Structure 1
Amino acid sequence: MKYMFSYDLAETIRNTNQWMGATALAMGSYPAMSVFPNPAMDWLRAWGEVTERSFARMIVKPDWNLPFISLEDGKDHAVEIKPVVERAFGDLLHFNVVGRETKPRKVLLVAPMSGHYATLLRKTVLSLLPDCELYITDWHNARDIPVSEGKFDVEDYTLYLVDFMKELGPDVHVLAVCQPVPLALAATAYLAEEDPKAQPASLTLIGGPVDPEAAPTDVTDFGNSMTMGVLHETMIQRVGYKYAGVGRKVYPGLLQLTSFISMNMNTHAEAFNDQIMRVSKGEGREHDKHNAFYDEYLAVMDMTAEFYLSTVERIFKRREIALNTFSVAGRPVDISKITTVAVKIVEGANDDISAPGQCVAALDLLTGLPDSKKAAHLEPGAGHYGIFAGKSWRNNIRPLVLDFIDANSAKPKANAKKPKPANKNSAA
């Protein structure tokens, strides 16, 4: 019960702050307050607006809010989001561009389950939609999943990816971003033995911890310094009475958010102080840069306790992927069995989450894959976010990934340009 109490206490604090913000906003907005202009009341109203919005966003799953897509026909096309596979812990979604012929590039974007929703990849989705038939993994908030649905750990996650790949067929190209990189690699290896014909056409791994020890960061240092017992006692709580998953053990989103913010406390404090001043001066806007970023950043989701703990123990501490000792349901998963799937690695030179070296370690594990099927790209000056959603992604990495997909498609387009090698292993 102590864990459930902690969960409900955190939600009570969040709810109270949201209420205080709404109250301050309402009080500062009274017409009577404008009779005698007072900068202090303008500041109170602005503080209330920013505070209410911030704490309200923490428990709301963001909408995709995808705009119309302009295509070669000169028309704007709406985007429908349709579930292809619906499961208890996550769905496979299809971004259907209405009125457009099916694109030859079929892409599965594997979103992280690391505290934020799949909408964190909104910019990645928008950049790929015009050129691809795009699918994405949409992981559910563990607080909303009844205990009766059972557990969900790294093995279950891997099997979900296996099922999604089977559903989409062997002509799909998989792009895994950050946390799911090692598990996407494991899922492909699992298929290589179980159903080789169901393997994807290519696998692009972007900034993920295949071998965390190849280039240690603060994230890996934290994982190594904490025992599993301490992590269970300090990070794991039971979902409170407010949600359908009452009683389920989780790593709460609010606790994760506290950790995210504490890493850059001064930066966040300055950002919120600046936003309050802008709103008090009438310069704030509904979709300004601050709101666009923090509406997504503050929207956090609970992870199942078993997924979080098994990730730390098996991926970071025991390095099962890096040592090729990972197993699913007692069955060894041998990464060297991947012999036909082209694999491309993308890393950012300034990535402080998955530092250069962690992801490219996958190529050394692919001993059964010829060098002609391997490629790697290190993006100069790019941080973690930039390699999948920033300027580096848009201008440099995305074109390389699309070229890689075309080069490893069964029937590349006749007018497709010959891809430029990412390194000596061009996979072309």
Structure 2
Amino acid sequence: MRLMASYDFMETVRNTNEWLGASARAFASYPGFALMANPALQMTAAWGEVTERAYSRMIAKPDWGIHSVTCADGRDHLVSVEKLVSRPFGDLIHFEVQGRDPQPRRVLLVAPMSGHYATLLRSTVVSLLPDCEVYITDWHNARDIPVSEGKFDIEDYTLYLVDFMKELGPDINVIAVCQPAPLTLAATAYLAEIDPKAQPQTLTLIGGPIDPDATPTEVTDFGNRVTMGVLEEMMIQRVGMKHKGIGRRVYPGLLQLTSFIAMNADRHAAAFQDQIFRVARGEAGDRDPHNRFYDEYLAVMDMTAEFYLTTVERIFKNSEIASNSFTVNGHPVDIGAITDVAVKTVEGEKDDISAPGQCVAALDLCTGLDDAMKASHLEPGAGHYGIFAGSSWRNNIRPLVLEFIDQNAGRTRKAKAAAKPQAARRGAKPALKAVP
């Protein structure tokens, strides 16, 4: 499996299906066939349209599509996307709301790098824009990154987050969604030791696997059952001929998508069957619910092999975050060093990816943090997607997160100001606590 030929074979299958869909749509839509009333032709054209769109989305990076936002003044303000920091494996971007004064709430959304683009959090961004200055991590598709740029594993990811937090300053409020929650917690602890004044103001962890063994799910069971050797042999391939990252070892997005769909194959099959009938009846639209969801869901990106493998081995198998034994460049990261950052966890009652108990474990690891600066929320009836992008997020969780940010704005600033003289007495380089 670890060959360019297998990567190119998957792309060939995808390309062929896109071509078959386009051909079926064009052939069955031939004007001359309108002289014959044949429902089979309508169904063929509908199948072709749905198939072509689905397979073409698999290699497209979705656009943010956020053109304007209505603010407190009742006016619609244009939104532009600005790149603040550009790095080989990911950028830090800012959504600039034009004609509006800077908002006191500054939020950094840490997007997952787990197969989908950062645009998966589009609705989360839209919900925060009226009240916050919003920044987000925009991770790049590994197939487009030349091998000469080197590796990118979970330690490199953590250091990227450290640099982004330092760039935005200590009044930033960090919200990590799903996969990056444990690494964001580690990045905050790393800053607490090496540069305390650069720590964020608050840290909100949403549905992340801080302690995957706290409440096992199908995802964690798979990680524990399969050996690293088997995982590497089955999942890792080399980028093929048509991309800038030719030869880079990756966990391909198309292979990830196969796994995503296999988890709920019947539901996805029914959704596409229903969409074909809607297209045949003329009831479908370019931005109907099916297309809005699957245009994003089917747009997948490759992960570097080292990031995927170290995530499975160190976060899931060895539980390095849960056991407070994570290291970055040989530096032991002590999560107990977090003393000035208010931490909140959010979980969904029906989350079958990061089940309740996995994320709230972060609070027990923050042994140096006062209980008054800890908070948790379990959203009744919410699944994984709902806690950051669905109605549960919009109606219940978002107001609680903003309230948490506001409550701790003054308190964390005072705590950091009081800690400055003490940090100065310790010297420029704080003592590191040894991890057993």
Which TM class, normalised by the smaller chain length? over 0.9
Q: Aligned with 1:409: secondary structure?
A: helix
Q: Deviation at 1:71?
A: 1.8
C-alpha offsets along residues 240-298 of structure 1, whole Å, 9 cap, x if unaligned? 00100000000000000000000100000000000000101111110000000000000
Indicate conservation of the 8 Å contact 2:239/2:245, yes or no. Answer: yes
Whole-Å separation in 2 of the counterparts to 1:399 and 1:315: 30
Which residue does the alignment assign to 2:389? 389
Partner of 1:75: 75
Structure 1: gaps of 5 or more residues? 413-428
8 A contact 2:83–2:94 mirrored in 1: yes
For residues 349-397 of structure 1, what are the alpha-carbon distances to aligned partners after superposition, in whole Å with 9 as ceiling and x for unaligned?
Answer: 1100000000000111110001011000011111000100111111110
Shift in Å, 1:151:
0.2
For residues 388 and 71 of structure 1, the distance between their equivalents in structure 2, rounded to whole angstroms, comes to 21
Tell me, yes or no, if the aligned pair for 1:151 and 1:306 is still in contact at 8 Å.
yes
Match of 1:10 in 2: 10
User: In structure 1, what is the equivalent of residue 160 of structure 2?
Assistant: 160
1:319 paired to 2:315: no
* Segment of structure 1 superposing worse, 67-76 or 385-394: 67-76
> Over residues 223-242 of structure 1, what are the superposed CA-to-partner deviations in whole Å (9 max), with x where a residue is unaligned?
00000000000000000001
Please state whether the residue corresponding to 2:410 is helix, strand or coil.
coil
Paired residue for 2:103?
103
Q: Does 1:84 align with 2:89?
A: no
2:277 paired residue number: 277
* Structure 1 CA distance for aligned equivalents of residues 27 and 78 of structure 2: 41
Question: Mapping of 1:117-156 within 5 angstroms?
Answer: 117-156=117-156
**Equivalent in the alignment of 1:181:** 181
Task: Report the alpha carbon displacement of residue 28 of structure 1 after superposing the two structures with TM.
Answer: 1.2
- Equivalent-residue separation in structure 2 for 1:71 and 1:13 (angstroms): 46
Q: Residues of 2 paired with 1:10 and 1:71: CA distance?
A: 45
SS in 1 for 2:60: coil
> What are the residue-to-residue correspondences of 1:233-382 with 2, within 5 Å?
233-382=233-382
Distance in structure 1 (CA, Å) of the matches to 2:69 and 2:137: 21
Give the conservation status (yes or no) of the 8 Å contact 1:171–1:410.
no
The question of whether the paired residues in 2 share the 8 Å contact of 1:174 and 1:204 is answered with yes
Distance in 2 (alpha carbons) for counterparts of 1:60 and 1:178: 23
How far apart are the structure 2 equivalents of 1:411 and 1:319? 32
Q: How many pairs does the alignment contain?
A: 412
**Comparing 322-331 with 401-410, which one deviates more in the overlay?**
401-410
- The secondary structure found in structure 2 opposite 1:319 is coil
CA distance in 2, matches of 1:396, 1:284: 31
Tell me the secondary structure at the aligned position of residue 179 of structure 1.
Answer: coil
Question: 1:410 deviation in Å?
Answer: 3.2
Mapped partners of 1:300, 1:9: distance in 2: 17
Residue pair 2:72, 2:130 contacting (<8 A) in 1 also? no
Deviations 1:102-145 (A, max 9, x none): 00000000000000000000110010000000000000000000
- The answer to whether 1:114 aligns with 2:114 is yes
SS in 2 for 1:21: helix
Query: Normalised by the size of structure 1, how large is the TM-score?
Result: 0.95
Give the deviation of 1:411 after TM superposition.
8.7
1:367 match: secondary structure? coil
**Distance in 2, Cα, partners of 1:114 & 1:56:** 20
Q: Distance in 2 between matches of 1:406 and 1:4?
A: 51
Aligned residue for 1:135, secondary structure, equals strand
Return the letter of the residue paired with 1:261. I
Q: Distance in 1 between matches of 2:81 and 2:43?
A: 40
Q: Which amino acid aligns with 2:327?
A: S
**Does the CA contact (< 8 Å) of 1:109 and 1:135 recur in 2?**
yes
- 2:39 aligned with 1:39: yes
* CA distance in 1 between partners of 2:411 and 2:108 (Å): 18
Does the Cα contact within 8 Å between 1:186 and 1:335 map onto a contact in 2? Answer: yes
Distance in 1 separating the partners of 2:363 and 2:270:
42
Distance in 1 between residues matched to 2:397 and 2:97, nearest whole Å: 23
Q: Which amino acid aligns with 1:72?
A: A
TM-score (norm 2): 0.94
Q: CA deviation at 1:72?
A: 2.6
Structure 2: unaligned runs, 5 residues or longer: 413-436
Q: How far is 1:2 from its partner? A: 5.4
1:30 paired to 2:27:
no
Q: How far off its partner does 1:3 sit? A: 1.5
Is the contact between residue 165 and residue 198 of structure 2 (CA under 8 Å) also seen in structure 1? yes
Q: In the alignment, is the contact (CA less than 8 A) between 1:342 and 1:373 conserved in 2? A: yes
2:218 aligns with 218
Distance 1:120 1:243 in 2: 23
Partner of 2:57: 57
* 3-state SS, counterpart of residue 353 of structure 2: coil
Partner Cα distance (2:190, 2:132) in 1: 26
Distance in 2 between residues matched to 1:210 and 1:93, nearest whole Å = 26
**C-alpha deviation, 1:67, in angstroms:** 3.6
Distance 2:216 2:346 in 1: 18
Structure 1 contact 70–77 (Cα < 8 Å) conserved: yes
Residues 2 and 167 (structure 1), Cα distance of their counterparts in 2 relative to 1, 3 Å cut = closer
